[in-house]
Structure 1
């Protein structure tokens, strides 16, 4: 689903006005859409509704909602969070409210909030930047503590539209009704956590305007992936579905290699070749019977057997549990220098490259990096809090600088391409925050790339499927008890769903 920034939404509104749709009509439609959605959630007649209104056009939407809910039989209180409306449209909507609606200032709103069945946040919308005004914080805290149905208009007040940043207080909605398209704050954390369930409603902007917009950011849901997975060839064989070479594992970290391998196999790769030092073979061979093995001597840093296997590979994954010993460092650099296929760099490969990230510019093949925030901080030489302030920008800038596909892991994983394309994941849950989950993902990315999927698509598709498997595990096993190995066992059900829709 397309994700639009504030400036892009404003541009669409201007197009709508030029085509003959007034801003007044857009506001009326927005308020009506929210009121209708609320009516789908609760019976509003006789309910106590508190509408928190700002002084701008988001507040104007709130005045429309107040009027319509009152007309439907709700007992409505409008709270002027910033005093009297300031924009011409908001003033017009304010004047249309009838006498049956109570109006009060924020400082007097406590009792009304405590008694409310419904609280609507129409304070800032997508225009918010910075920090919630201190005077509003007690009202927001009181609203957030309420057991009432909480609904935000367009975006939760306190969330920055384009970055998903939340600095200080933020309205915590159970539902957010956003207009025209998703915004970055709907899918990027921490703002996404304040949105609750987000729905998109159209307000009168013609779809052709949206289709003409050269957007570069979209959210990803499982249903979006079906076109990427055509039905498998009935005459296909193991060579049809890709050759993946994995250079993973070391003494004490064989588990990372095993989980990556099983993730790759469950993602459908036809042939899996695991290159490991001789000492690891007795451990790994029984654990991954579907794989073939290439053995190498860590002391022979020309790695002849690895190079031979690399020539036959259609994708290469390096780093899961590899360690950072001198031979591992040489192995990473050798792969970047010699690979003729897409390369996935995870975990220790990224730790090794953090000393010289310019090495990422060496290969002339697609490179996919899969850092968690700590690894990204080391790679980019920036503070984690600076990177987290705008995750989309962080991933996009790193991809552009080093000409790589970046999978910036975390809640709402961001996948960015060198050309600026971005996909934000909407699947997954906190139960996946356990050692080994990233190894499973890396194996899946490598497997999809080996099967011929475009590397950018392979990256964001693997992330989405990985998260969907995690959601199934959480539902069945709980977020506390689920394990990364459970993700692997949940993958068949996810792929079955994709195959059923392809």
Structure 2
């Protein structure tokens, strides 16, 4: 797991590291410059002629220190600094003095097209208003040049808190960030402006947060150790029973994808509760599943209740439609079940139309809306939600007492305990029909085998993305289909 920090969280860590732990700020600056130098020298940047653009803040201090290190390696380097007549931070002032002592020239105007590499150290994580005037002109010059661009800590003009473009922003080929990833480098559009993202250790650790750890985390490969352990002495009951309440007439695919994904995760048994019209195709496609079918106009709730009582976790919603029968089925699941629920798709839309159904729920619920479904749930437009995606998911999870998996390019998992995860796995090839159905099966499969619902929500999203990345490597993003995500799970789980 890794932390994704806001501007204020990063500033607090910096302050505590310098003033309470006792690491001098100039040591942090020097290590940041050394980390950036490594990326420039070892990773394909043309250093024939380098421009380092510096501002008055500590981001500028990193830039001045880097320019000095480049100069000492014999690289032809210029420094652009337009704030000579304004007060700089103490660290930046000291670095300016050092470069002057080395005889390195500091310019106040340049021809950006003359450089093969440009380093952006203009503005840092403290940016709080739109970029205007001379700074905006500099950013425009950087973006119009043909040089490769390395951003220090964060591309100038990107909000560290939410990835928004603050008027104008540097479009970097690579960003070297220090200590921890900033939220704005992971959320879009900031992630696109950051380019390839590299984190450098400069001596900032979680001790610097003094117990007030960042709110947002993200899974990393080490978290795969959370997977439930398979017991050698076992039977299919050992690995759990999933009930998938899904599908409708001419919509069998969602039930198939959810159920197969659960099986592929290692579940012992999956029961599909679906309309009678889906019996033949599902028995053909997935003979491992047990089917319980119902009349789409008059569902047998006795059969449903019996299956609910057998299940360790229930998926409800994929491909069900929004008929009266579907609402009755959802109401029954919510009323009768006492096991965790993964609620998706049409069940989410029914809840949006009937919000009272979620009141006083007894179950541990994982709700998995995409932006459109979330818009219907909370009565806000998708743009409002996407611009404040973490806050919206967090607020909904807290008010409803559930786990909200708000699906987007960067899916947010807001857990009922207040912890928030932002997923970084996955790719645009996964924006395809059925991908969400696969996710429900993955999450349910983890819960069925004993993982807690909160942990399963975030880890399931991460595994889903990893499988999608594996499928994209094999097939390409254009050709990727939902079934390919399932077929790639074994590579991730083995």
Q: For the superposition of Structure 1 and Structure 2, which TM-score range results when normalised by the shorter chain?
A: over 0.9
Report if the CA contact (8 A) 1:187-1:425 is conserved.
Answer: no
What SS is found at the alignment partner of 2:405? strand
Under a length normalisation based on structure 2, what TM-score does the superposition of the two structures give? 0.93
Q: CA deviation at 1:202?
A: 2.6
Q: 1 CA distance for matches of 2:31 and 2:173?
A: 22
Report if the CA contact (8 A) 1:164-1:191 is conserved.
Answer: yes
What SS is found at the alignment partner of 1:161? coil
Query: Do the aligned partners of residues 290 and 53 (structure 1) sit closer, same or farther apart at CA in structure 2, a change above 3 Å counting?
Result: same
Structure 2, unpaired ranges of 5+: none
Count of equivalent residues = 490
Please name the residue that 1:216 is paired with. Answer: 215
Kindly indicate whether residue 176 of structure 2 is the aligned counterpart of residue 177 of structure 1.
yes
Q: CA deviation at 1:259?
A: 1.4
Q: 2 CA distance for matches of 1:166 and 1:236?
A: 54
Kindly indicate whether residue 421 of structure 2 is the aligned counterpart of residue 419 of structure 1.
no
Please name the residue that 1:101 is paired with. Answer: 104
Please name the residue that 1:164 is paired with. Answer: 163
Please name the residue that 2:127 is paired with. Answer: 128
What SS is found at the alignment partner of 2:5? coil
Map 1:366-385; keep pairs closer than 5 Å.
366-385=364-383
Please name the residue that 1:499 is paired with. Answer: none
- Mean CA deviation greater in 127-136 or 454-463: 127-136
Q: Deviations over 1:350-397 (max 9, x none)?
A: 111112334323321110011111111111111211111122212111
Map 1:72-87; keep pairs closer than 5 Å.
72-80=73-81, 84=85, 86-87=87-88
Q: Deviations over 1:298-347 (max 9, x none)?
A: 44467111011101111000111000011111211221222110001111
Q: 1 CA distance for matches of 2:129 and 2:292?
A: 54
Q: Deviations over 1:264-305 (max 9, x none)?
A: 111111110000122221222211111001222344467111
Query: Do the aligned partners of residues 145 and 264 (structure 1) sit closer, same or farther apart at CA in structure 2, a change above 3 Å counting?
Result: farther
Q: 2 CA distance for matches of 1:258 and 1:252?
A: 12
Under a length normalisation based on structure 1, what TM-score does the superposition of the two structures give? 0.92
Structure 1, unpaired ranges of 5+: 497-502
Q: CA deviation at 1:145?
A: 4.5
What SS is found at the alignment partner of 2:232? coil
Q: 1 CA distance for matches of 2:364 and 2:376?
A: 22
Q: 1 CA distance for matches of 2:247 and 2:70?
A: 61
Q: CA deviation at 1:138?
A: 4.7
Query: Do the aligned partners of residues 421 and 24 (structure 1) sit closer, same or farther apart at CA in structure 2, a change above 3 Å counting?
Result: same
Q: 2 CA distance for matches of 1:447 and 1:347?
A: 18
Kindly indicate whether residue 458 of structure 2 is the aligned counterpart of residue 460 of structure 1.
yes
Report if the CA contact (8 A) 1:164-1:390 is conserved.
Answer: no
Q: CA deviation at 1:146?
A: 4.1
Q: CA deviation at 1:104?
A: 2.9
Report if the CA contact (8 A) 1:176-1:198 is conserved.
Answer: yes
Query: Do the aligned partners of residues 278 and 252 (structure 1) sit closer, same or farther apart at CA in structure 2, a change above 3 Å counting?
Result: closer
Q: 2 CA distance for matches of 1:341 and 1:284?
A: 25
Please name the residue that 2:266 is paired with. Answer: 268
- Mean CA deviation greater in 291-300 or 418-427: 291-300
Report if the CA contact (8 A) 2:276-2:294 is conserved.
Answer: yes
Q: 2 CA distance for matches of 1:489 and 1:241?
A: 20
What SS is found at the alignment partner of 1:2? strand
